[in-house]
Amino acid sequence: MLFATLLAVTLSSYVALNTQSLKLASRSFYAAEAVNMAEAGLEEAIWSFNQAQAGDVTAWNGWNTSDGVKATRAFTDFTLGPNVTGSTSVYIDRFNPGVGVQPLVVAKATVTLPHGQAEISRLFELKLKRRSLFASGIVAKNNVNFSGNNASVDSWNSDPDNDPATAAIPYSAGVRHDKGSVAAASVTSTVLIGNADIWGTVSVGGSSTSAISVGANGLVGPFATANGVKNPANIATDFVANMETVTAPSGGTALASLGSTLGTAGTTTIWRTPVIEDSLTVYGNVTLVLTAGSGVDAISLTGTKGITLAPGATLSIYTEGNVKLGGNGLLNPSDEPVSVQIWGTNTSPMGQDIQIAGNGALKAIVYAPNGSVKINGNGDVMGAVVGREVDLTGNASFHYDESLANWGVNTPYGVVMWRELATAADRSTYAAELYF
């Protein structure tokens, strides 16, 4: 009788233990499923942001955007198992953010279990920002080559507070950083440093750092790196960049040819003309579409000719033709390189030739993913350059503007912060927003 009693107690305890273990295993399984559901909700939000950016008027269909600022959406009726259901609620603090605004997205996934078990919930928060085409100073699809004995790359930040309303910081020795960055994306690409000083990082798309070669008087690394050294912490492999072709804006006033001035101070204008072949002074905010075709010199300035920006002016040039900017070059009084933009729109690999020469200071960004970009001279180049091939000859000093890593206009959104909201305090922040 005593043995039977002990056996019954033991079996009961064993069954209870197994039942509890099964419940714990089940909860762990569905907790992982809740993560998947929450991430699916976050991905739906990112998809809607980028579809809207691409011009899809249906991008926010199914979302509640009634107040014009926030967006919410519930995804329900997920069947996860026998008598187990799930749902996901997504909250966006600003679905139509302004320039420079980084929207927040929060997703809460809930799993409802049978037999009166406590529900499972997982909450995640992420922050989005527009991806920048200029996250590195010099980027090529294929190769980057330096030739010259005193070329250098470093960096500074013209907008350290990320506020365009405050005055820009000009480059100087007192604000320079060792965050210059050079990268080549192809798995067969090379970066030939030669005798240049790269105060920052160099990355290649292949798997071997042997694709980065440094001459006896060149270097890659932080300030104080010795000649001939590639600092291991400053070189990287498996670099990836999505360098999509851009298109020129439509519309604008057509001109058969340009005069000596273009634009009006304090106004924004768009113009279309075949070429620039004489000196030009720009006023106001000017977008200039050069309609010369592939293989034609869309900009050809030599001798004493050049482009000059009036104080406060900006200039964006779009062209699929060749650019030969020599002579007096491009005089930009602004301390922000982004105030001058050269966009290569050619869609054929190596279909565009961009040559920039001079001994002064060029402050601009250049984006020509199918172009061969050559910078030749002994002056200072400030901003960022993207090309299919990039060659720097002479003794130019290249200064990457770090603020360009935060600059994105009409570019897709990417994730810059992701975290799980695990504490009661963190979750309470969005309790009201997720109750719908």
By the 8 A CB rule, do 400 and 181 touch?
yes
Collapsing DSSP to helix, strand or coil, 25 comes out as: helix
- What is the 3 state secondary structure string of 81-95? ECCEEEEEEEEECCC
Looking at per-residue pLDDT, the higher value among 35 and 411 belongs to: 35
Residues with Cβ within 8 Å of 109's Cβ and at least 6 positions away in sequence, in order, are 34, 35, 36, 37, 38, 41, 86, 87, 88, 121, 122, 123
| First-last CA distance in the chain | 60
User: In this predicted structure, what is the pLDDT of residue 39?
Assistant: 96
pLDDT of residue 15 exceeding 70: no
Tell me the residue length of the chain: 436
As a whole number, mean pLDDT of residues 175-189 equals 94
Strand partners for 269: 286
Residue 41 has what pLDDT?
97
| pLDDT exceeds 70 at position 421 | yes
Please give the average per-residue pLDDT across 186-202, as a whole number. 93
**Residue 120 confidence (pLDDT) above 80:** yes
State both tokens at 266.
Answer: 């304090």
Q: Are strands 235-236 and 229-230 parallel, antiparallel or unpaired?
A: unpaired
279 vs 289: CA distance, rounded Å: 17
CB-based burial of residue 299 (10 Å sphere; 0-12 exposed, 13-18 middle, 19+ buried)?
A: buried
Are 252 and 270 a contacting pair, CB within 8 Å? yes
Other C-beta atoms closer than 10 Å to the C-beta of 262 total: 21
CB-CB contact of 273 with 287 (8 Å): no
* Residue whose token pair is 């997920």: 78
Q: Which residues make Cβ contacts (< 8 Å) with residue 144, sequence separation at least 6?
A: 138, 182, 183, 184, 189, 190, 191, 192, 389, 390, 391, 392
- The pLDDT value given to residue 116: 82
What does the pLDDT look like over 134-173, one tens digit per residue?
999 999 999 999 987 789 999 999 999 888 889 999 999 9
pLDDT reading at 219 higher than 70:
yes
At residue 351, the pLDDT reads 87
Name residue 93's amino acid.
D
Q: What is the pLDDT of residue 8?
A: 52
How far apart CA 221 and CA 400 sit, in angstroms, is: 15
Report d(CA 181, CA 139) in Å as an integer.
8
